[in-house]
Amino acid sequence: MRAEEIRFLLEKAEEARKGSYSPYSRYPVGAAVLTEDGRVFGGCNMENVSYPASLCAERNAIGSAVTAGERAFRAIAIIGSRDDYTMPCGICRQVMAEFHVPLIICGKSMEDYRLFTLDELFPSAFQEEGLKKQ
Ligand code: THU
Per-residue pLDDT of the chain (134 residues; tens, 9 = 90+): 999 999 999 999 999 999 999 999 999 999 999 999 999 999 999 999 999 999 999 999 999 999 999 999 999 999 998 899 999 999 999 999 999 999 999 999 889 999 999 999 999 888 888 888 77
- Would you say residue 58 lies in a domain? yes
- Would you say residue 39 lies in a domain? yes
- What pTM was computed for the model? 0.94
* 105 within ligand 1 shell (Cβ under 6 A): no
pLDDT recorded at residue 74: 98
pLDDT recorded at residue 97: 97
pLDDT recorded at residue 81: 87
Q: 41 C-alpha vs ligand 1 centroid, how far in Å?
A: 17
Residue 115: which domain range?
A: 3-119
Question: Residue whose CA is closest, atom 13 of ligand 1?
Answer: 27
74: Cβ contacts below 8 Å, ≥ 6 apart:
1, 34, 35, 36, 101, 102, 103
Question: Residue whose CA is closest, atom 1 of ligand 1?
Answer: 56
- Would you say residue 130 lies in a domain? no
Do the Cβ atoms of 106 and 78 come closer than 8 Å?
yes
* 48 within ligand 1 shell (Cβ under 6 A): no
The beta strand positions in 1-131, using DSSP E, are: 30-35, 40-44, 73-79, 103-107, 113-117
pLDDT recorded at residue 126: 85
- Would you say residue 132 lies in a domain? no
- Number of structural domains the chain divides into: 1
- Would you say residue 131 lies in a domain? no
The beta strand positions in 1-134, using DSSP E, are: 30-35, 40-44, 73-79, 103-107, 113-117
pLDDT recorded at residue 38: 96
Q: 22 C-alpha vs ligand 1 centroid, how far in Å?
A: 9
- Would you say residue 94 lies in a domain? yes
pLDDT recorded at residue 40: 98
76 to 1, 42, 79, 84, 85: CA distances (angstroms): 11, 9, 10, 17, 14
pLDDT recorded at residue 123: 94
CATH of the domain at 42: 3.40.140.10
Q: Ligand 1, residue 22: give the atom nearest the CA.
A: 12
Q: Provide the 10 A C-beta neighbour count for residue 41.
A: 23
CA-CA-CA-CA torsion sign (127, 39, 62, 76): positive
pLDDT recorded at residue 132: 85
* 58 within ligand 1 shell (Cβ under 6 A): yes
pLDDT recorded at residue 134: 72
* 88 within ligand 1 shell (Cβ under 6 A): yes
- Would you say residue 124 lies in a domain? no
